[in-house]
Amino acid sequence: MAKYKSRYLELAFYVNGVERKFSGGAYEAKTAEEVTVLNRLSDAEPDTEEPAQVDEVDAEDKPAKAPAKRKANAASSAK
């Protein structure tokens, strides 16, 4: 139904006397009663985050980076 997120990994709340818990900072409400309670909680927010779209870029379009030059270690050159 609706997804919610919390800044706490395990936030507990009650719906009609039954305990419900967030797991990993996320909870998916399955009933209208859960949605009503979650909307009243200050520590729970509706998860409206949409997945970010990643632009595909071909490897040919990006200039290749030159390999990093290694610096000599001061201890190895003193031998």
Boundaries of every domain in the chain: 1-48
pLDDT at 61 over 80: no
Could you report the per-residue pLDDT of 17-39, keeping only the tens digit for each? Answer: 999 999 999 999 999 999 999 99
For the entire predicted model, the pTM comes to 0.57
Report the DSSP beta bridge partners of residue 29.
Answer: 2
Determine the distance from the C-alpha atom of residue 7 to the mean position of all C-alpha atoms in its chain, rounded to a whole number.
Answer: 11
Q: What's the pLDDT at 62?
A: 65
Measured on CA atoms in the order 47, 48, 49, 50, is the torsion positive or negative?
positive
Mean pLDDT of 49-59: 57
Render the burial of 13-41: b for 16+ CB within 10 Å, e for the rest.
beeeeeebebeeeebebeeeebbebbeee
Question: Is 35 strand, coil or helix?
Answer: helix
